[in-house]
Amino acid sequence: MNFSHLVSLTKFLVPHGLLCLRFTCKGLNLVYRTKAYKAVLTYLKSSEEYKLGGVFVGGRSMGSRAATSVMRAACEEEDGFIQGLICLSYPLHPPNAKGKLRDEDLVRVTRPSLFISGSADDMCDKTLMMSTVSKMKAPAKIHWVENANHGMTAKGKTMSDVLTEINEQTLFWIQEILKL
């Protein structure tokens, strides 16, 4: 939740009129994280106090896998509450294990999706990611941060420059999806 990429993204999106809710899970377990995401979304969806529209789910690394699982389930429900998926540093495969793809939920997503990954990420091979995205049943965009690794540290760029790139790409994509 307090990872620099997510904090920066929230601080950037809020002044543009977008409400951002960040939360964390105490464990790395994917099933546990997915249940936590679903609980938060169920609350927001049924709340009399909050009437939200144009909801996007997202996360960074393992959080993006949990968000993808939630998005897949939402696509199967076909209720339209969630508009899109945002994945920062999606871990498509374990480090140096390109044969163990984590794409089972991705290929079943039917709503717009944004992936922002480093071109030197050892958990997201570019060729494999582009092939996986081509199998998706929804429009998807991939933005590669040049020379960045899984933590988005990029040779020749400051972290501030990388965060600005991530933030601007995300805002532009959301505005495009919502036709703002």
Q: State yes or no: pLDDT of 79 exceeds 70.
A: yes
Q: Which of 62-76, 124-138, 158-172 has the lowest mean pLDDT?
A: 62-76
Q: Which of 2-16, 20-34, 117-131, 135-149 has the lowest mean pLDDT?
A: 20-34
Residue 22 has what pLDDT? 75
For tokens 């690394």, what's the residue?
61
For tokens 């099933």, what's the residue?
31
Q: What is each CA distance from 95 to 33, 36, 59, 69, 102, in whole angstroms?
A: 21, 26, 19, 21, 12
Angle at 92 between CA 104 and CA 102, to 5 degrees: 25
Reported as a single tens digit per residue, the pLDDT across 17-74 is 888 877 766 666 778 788 888 888 888 888 888 778 778 999 999 889 999 999 998 8
Supply φ then ψ for residue 115, to 5 degrees. -120, 125
Q: State yes or no: pLDDT of 128 exceeds 90.
A: yes
> Under 8 Å CB-to-CB from 20, ≥6 apart: which residues?
9, 10, 13, 14
Pure H helices in the chain: 4-13, 30-46, 62-77, 126-134, 159-178
The residue-averaged pLDDT of 134-153 equals 96
